[in-house]
Amino acid sequence: MTLQVQHADPEKKLTDHVEQPQKPEIENVEGEVIDKKAQRRLVLKLDLIILPLLALSIMMGYLDRGNIGNARLLGMAHDLKLSEQQYLNCVMMFFLGYMLIELPAGMALRYIQPRYVFATALISFGLFSTLITVSGYAGIMVLRVLIGLGEAFVNNAYLYVSLYYMQNELSLRTGKFNAAVYSMTPVAGAFSGLLAYGVGTGLEGAHDIPSWRWLFIIEGAATIGFGFIVLALLPGLPETVAAKGSFLFPHEQERALIMQRLRMSQNTSHAGFQKHQVVMAFKDPKLYLGALLLAPVGIGIGAFNVFLPTFVNQFGFDRLHSQLISIIPYACALISMIFISWLSDRLGRKALVCICSFAVGMIGFIILITATGKVVLLVGACLVAIGTYPGLVIGIAWTLTVHGGYTKKATFMWASQVMIQTYSIIATQVYRSPPRFFLGHGIALGLYVLGITSAMTLWYLVSRQNRMREARRLEFEQKGEVDPDMEKSFEELGDFHPGWRYTT
pLDDT tier for residue 171 given thresholds of 50, 70 and 90: low
| H-assigned helices in 348-494 | 351-370, 374-401, 406-430, 438-478, 490-493
pLDDT of residue 2: 33
Specify the number of domains making up the chain.
2
In a domain, 22, yes or no: no
- Residues 6+ away with beta carbon under 8 Å from 1: 19, 20, 21, 22, 27, 29, 30
Give the end of a domain, one of 267, 292, 312.
267
In a domain, 5, yes or no: no
pLDDT of residue 491: 67
Same domain, 148 and 214: yes
Give the end of a domain, one of 267, 293, 312.
267
pLDDT digits (tens, 9 = 90+) for 206-254: 998 999 999 999 999 999 999 999 999 998 888 778 777 777 887 888 8
* DSSP designation for 453: H
- Beta-carbon neighbour count of residue 66 at 10 Å? 26
Cβ–Cβ under 8 Å, residues 296 and 461? no
In a domain, 6, yes or no: no
Same domain, 120 and 235: yes
Report the distance separating Cα 112 and Cα 101, nearest Å. 15
Indicate whether 27 pLDDT > 50.
no
Report the distance separating Cα 162 and Cα 164, nearest Å. 6
pLDDT tier for residue 86 given thresholds of 50, 70 and 90: very high
In a domain, 2, yes or no: no
pLDDT of residue 17: 38
Domain around 237? 36-267
Supply the pTM of this predicted model: 0.72
- Residues 6+ away with beta carbon under 8 Å from 244: 236
pLDDT of residue 176: 56
pLDDT of residue 24: 36
* pLDDT > 90: percent of the chain: 26
pLDDT of residue 422: 85
Same domain, 295 and 398: yes
CA gyration radius, the chain: 23
Same domain, 406 and 364: yes
Report the distance separating Cα 390 and Cα 380, nearest Å. 16
Indicate whether 154 pLDDT > 90.
no
SS (H, E, C) 10-67: CCCCCCCEEECCCCCCCCCCCCCCCCHHHHHHHHHHHHHHHHHHHHHHHHHHHHHHHH
Helix then strand then coil, % of the chain, to nearest 5 = 75, 0, 20
Same domain, 216 and 297: no
Cβ–Cβ under 8 Å, residues 120 and 227? yes
* pLDDT > 70: percent of the chain: 86
Cβ–Cβ under 8 Å, residues 39 and 257? yes
Give the end of a domain, one of 215, 245, 267.
267
pLDDT tier for residue 445 given thresholds of 50, 70 and 90: very high
Indicate whether 437 pLDDT > 50.
yes
In a domain, 3, yes or no: no
Same domain, 136 and 162: yes
Instruction: Output the CA–CA distances (angstroms, integers) from residue 336 to 189, 251, 310, 353, in the order listed.
Output: 15, 37, 23, 12
pLDDT digits (tens, 9 = 90+) for 338-363: 888 888 888 888 899 999 999 999 99
Same domain, 237 and 280: no
In a domain, 226, yes or no: yes
pLDDT tier for residue 264 given thresholds of 50, 70 and 90: low
pLDDT of residue 33: 67
- Beta-carbon neighbour count of residue 275 at 10 Å? 8
Same domain, 290 and 418: yes
Instruction: Output the CA–CA distances (angstroms, integers) from residue 270 to 25, 71, 109, 177, 355, in the order listed.
Output: 11, 44, 11, 24, 35
In a domain, 14, yes or no: no
Same domain, 295 and 444: yes
The CATH number that applies at residue 422 is: 1.20.1250.20
pLDDT digits (tens, 9 = 90+) for 87-139: 989 988 988 888 888 778 777 877 888 889 999 999 999 999 999 988 899 99
Three-state DSSP class for 294? coil
246 DSSP β-pair partners: 249
Same domain, 164 and 286: no
pLDDT of residue 490: 66
Same domain, 104 and 145: yes
In a domain, 15, yes or no: no
pLDDT of residue 13: 38
Same domain, 222 and 358: no
Q: How far is CA 447 from the centre of its chain?
A: 19
